Amino acid sequence: MRILAINDISCTGKCSLTVALPVLSACGATVDILPTALLSTHTGGFTGYTFLPLDGEMEKIFEHWSTLPLSYDVVYSGYLGSRAQIEFVKKVKDRFLKADGKFVVDPVLGDNFTFYKGFDEAFAAGMRSLCAEADYILPNETESFLLTGERDFSKALEKLSEICPHPIITGASAPDGYFLYYEDGGEKRMPLEKVEGSFHGAGDVFASAFAGCIANGLPLKEALSLTAEFCYRAILRTEKEVPDKKYGMNYERELYLLTDAFKGR
Stretch that binds ligand PXL, among 94-102, 144-152, 196-204, 228-236 (CB under 6 A): 196-204
Contact between 170 and ligand PXL by CB under 6 A: the answer reads no
- Residue from 22, 204, 226, 230 that binds ligand PXL (CB under 6 A)? 204
Contact between 73 and ligand PXL by CB under 6 A: the answer reads no
CA distance 17 to 8: 6
Q: Give the x-and-dash track for 103-142 against ligand PXL (CB under 6 A).
A: -----x-------x--------------------------
- Residue from 3, 6, 16, 261 that binds ligand PXL (CB under 6 A)? 16
Provide, rounded to whole angstroms, the least separation between the CB of residue 65 and ligand PXL. 23
Name the residue with the smallest CB distance to ligand PXL.
44
Residue 34 CB: number of other CB atoms within 10 A? 22
Task: Enumerate long-range contacts of 48-56, CB under 8 Å, 24 or more apart.
Answer: 51/81, 53/81, 53/82, 53/85, 54/81, 55/81, 55/82, 55/84, 55/85, 55/88
Q: 110-111 and 114-115: which strand pairing?
A: antiparallel
List % helix, strand, coil for the chain (3-state, nearest 5).
Answer: 40, 25, 35
Q: Which residues bind ligand PXL (CB under 6 A)?
A: 8, 10, 15-16, 39, 42-44, 79, 108, 116, 201, 203-204
